[in-house]
Amino acid sequence: MSQHIQGTEVTISYNRPVARGRELFGSLVHYGRIWHPGADSVSTISFGKDVIVDGHRLAAGRYSLWAIPEEPPKPWTVIFNRGLGGWHTNYPGEAQDALRLSVTAETGPHMETLTYYFPVVDADSAVLRLQWGTVVVPMKIKVTQ
């Protein structure tokens, strides 16, 4: 899945787990533990140019995506990690982290399959949402000049 923001390509590669009536967060996905938001092989995001994600600089490149879900109202930790290979259960470790963000999860309509999407795209920025079940994790991506 790709989106262009001010001429910069942002690409997310991931597999989509399905809820299938299961309780997701706090049960299938444990609070307070590192989780791979996807299925099977590691989910990745790549940026064609340097970007600012929720106010924090991130160099152009490709990163694996990880998260630490928390019980509301505590914010989640979203992790952009330089380690790209491997299966979704093998977190490469903090030494490979390029960026850790504190993100407040929101509530939205039920999404049966885990999905990343861009509901808002402006001239130089876009909002990326990770959504599964009724949990929505938004991140603003701004392209630097």
User: Is the full-model pTM beyond 0.85?
Assistant: yes
Nearest to 23 by CA among 74, 78, 69: 69
The burial of 118, by beta-carbon neighbours within 10 Å (0-12 exposed, 13-18 middle, 19 or more buried), is given as middle
Of the pLDDT bands very low, low, confident and very high (cuts 50, 70, 90), residue 59 is very high
**pLDDT tens, residue by residue, 75-92:** 999 999 999 977 767 899
- pLDDT of amino acid 90: 87
CA 96 to CA 83: how far, in whole Å?
A: 6
Separation of first and last alpha carbons in the chain: 23
- pLDDT of amino acid 86: 74
- pLDDT of amino acid 144: 85
- pLDDT of amino acid 87: 72
